[in-house]
């Protein structure tokens, strides 16, 4: 089978990681990439062989491409995706699919009209610890899922907060920090529905506003299955972790201090808790460890697959299987839309001081 021809738009923080991860894949080759920052483009070219463009529109019409990976700031996802679809290319768009639900709907419509597939970059679904956790849930290992929760609280005070710029989230709309509800919580909104095999019915929450002072963010999601999802974020304070707590990370990934390479000691590695009627899972998604607790005690689950950043290659290979072999689309654009609908409902709930029904 010929390698899938991939073009990347945006070689910033995550685009450069996609590029590096794809190099290890035998299923895809990056034929071209577009980046408006000449220094970033040059730095990537020094390490990888691809045709470089400053203008992504030229790349879309000038190259033989199977899949365009959109890794630009969030507010540009709609324009890049629609241009790629109109040029006849399948699209893998990074999370969040867009800033607003209306944009996401237009993206899905444009891809349908052009007869191309819109894949949603729900990278958490590719992390080995999360995949193994879902397999255990599906096998019934923890019974009925009752509660899923994640929290990221810490930082170095308000000055140390890593705010996403207005290029990502326009001033006055939803936004905030890279470890907040919008930019990070969107992963969990999707992952909780996937883990519990349910959809969100009602929400109550509070998210930060781009350009405004920070406050603690939270989201309560009532799933149709009866499960509760809970997210809590605040990165303009300090952590409460004690010196003896933590673990060595077996994968790369992001924590509240930024991108962390594998092998480092982390005092508070990101983790997701899933509590069921017959057991519970503690998922260290980036540190690549998984623990199952039930009536027989706690044990570590052996993991297969590629931890971060290899999960970016696993994701694009999943797209390749759909495009080349007709395999079912693992995460369609509609999943990105559904996550945004939950987020928008959360903002509405706080404004209106009530629980809001999603769709």
The contact mask relative to ligand NAD for 40-59 (x = CB under 6 A, - = no) is x---------------x---
C-alpha pair distances (Å), 328 with each of 26, 190, 192, 229, 322: 20, 18, 21, 27, 6
- The single residue among 63, 66, 78, 183 that binds ligand NAD, judged by CB under 6 A, is 183
In angstroms, what is the minimal distance from the CB of 177 to ligand NAD?
12
Nearest CB to ligand NAD, comparing residues 11 and 203: 11
With CA atoms as reference, report the closest residue to 16 among 3, 39, 4.
39
Nearest CB to ligand NAD, comparing residues 276 and 310: 310
Whether omega before 96 lies within 30 degrees of 0, making that bond cis, reads yes
With CA atoms as reference, report the closest residue to 124 among 356, 345, 335.
335
Nearest CB to ligand NAD, comparing residues 76 and 225: 76
Nearest CB to ligand NAD, comparing residues 80 and 136: 80
Say how far apart CA 221 and CA 192 lie, in whole Å. 9
Q: Please give the angle made by the CA atoms of 348, 352 and 355, to the nearest 5 degrees.
A: 75
Dihedral (CA of 7, 10, 14, 15) sign: positive
**Closest residue (Cβ) to ligand NAD?**
12
**Considering the rule CB under 6 A, would residue 214 count as an interface residue with ligand NAD?**
no
In angstroms, what is the minimal distance from the CB of 271 to ligand NAD?
16
Say how far apart CA 11 and CA 105 lie, in whole Å. 26
Nearest CB to ligand NAD, comparing residues 12 and 173: 12
State the DSSP string of 171-193: TTSB--BTTSIIIIIHHHHHHHH
- The single residue among 31, 35, 132, 310 that binds ligand NAD, judged by CB under 6 A, is 35
- Segment interacting with ligand NAD (CB under 6 A) among 31-39, 224-232, 321-329, 335-343: 31-39
Specify the residue for token string 């899972």.
281
Q: Please give the angle made by the CA atoms of 93, 95 and 98, to the nearest 5 degrees.
A: 80
- Segment interacting with ligand NAD (CB under 6 A) among 5-13, 103-111, 149-157, 326-334: 5-13
**Considering the rule CB under 6 A, would residue 36 count as an interface residue with ligand NAD?**
yes
Residue 347, φ and ψ in degrees, nearest 5: -60, -40
In angstroms, what is the minimal distance from the CB of 178 to ligand NAD?
7
* Site for ligand NAD, residues 59 to 118, rule: CB under 6 A: 71-74, 76, 94-95
Binding site residues, ligand NAD, CB under 6 A: 9-15, 34-37, 40, 56, 71-74, 76, 94-95, 121, 123, 183
């Amino acid at each position: 089978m010929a390698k899938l021809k991939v073009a990347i738009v945006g070689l910033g923080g995550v685009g450069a990681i996609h590029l590096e991860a794809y190099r290890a894949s035998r299923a895809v080759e990056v034929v071209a990439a577009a980046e408006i920052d000449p220094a970033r483009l040059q730095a990537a070219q020094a390490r990888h062989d691809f045709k470089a463009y400053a203008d992504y529109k030229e790349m879309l019409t000038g190259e033989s491409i199977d899949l365009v990976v959109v890794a630009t700031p969030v507010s540009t996802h709609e324009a890049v995706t629609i241009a790629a679809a109109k040029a006849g290319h399948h699209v893998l768009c990074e999370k969040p699919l867009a800033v607003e639900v209306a944009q996401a709907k237009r993206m899905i419509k444009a891809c349908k009209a052009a007869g191309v597939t819109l894949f949603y970059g729900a990278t958490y679904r590719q992390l080995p610890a999360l995949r193994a956790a879902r397999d255990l849930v599906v096998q019934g290992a923890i019974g009925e899922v009752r509660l899923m929760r994640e929290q990221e609280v810490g930082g170095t005070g308000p000055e140390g907060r890593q705010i996403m710029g207005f290029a990502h989230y326009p001033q006055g709309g939803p936004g905030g920090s890279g470890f907040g509800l919008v930019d990070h919580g969107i992963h969990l909104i999707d992952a909780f529905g996937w883990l519990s095999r349910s959809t969100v019915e009602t929400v109550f929450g509070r998210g930060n506003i781009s350009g405004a002072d920070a406050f603690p963010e939270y989201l309560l999601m009532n799933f149709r299955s009866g499960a509760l999802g809970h997210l809590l974020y605040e990165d303009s304070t300090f952590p409460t972790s004690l010196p003896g707590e933590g673990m060595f990370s077996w994968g790369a990934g992001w924590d509240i201090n930024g991108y962390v390479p594998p092998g480092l000691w982390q005092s508070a590695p990101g983790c997701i808790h899933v509590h069921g009627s017959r057991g519970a899972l503690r998922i260290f998604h980036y540190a690549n460890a998984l623990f199952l607790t039930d009536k027989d005690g706690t044990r570590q689950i052996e993991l297969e697959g590629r931890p971060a950043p290899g999960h970016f290659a696993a994701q694009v290979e999943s797209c390749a299987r759909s495009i080349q072999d007709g395999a079912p689309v693992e995460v369609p654009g509609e999943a990105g839309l559904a996550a945004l609908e939950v987020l928008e409902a959360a903002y509405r709930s706080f404004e209106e001081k009530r629980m809001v029904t999603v769709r």
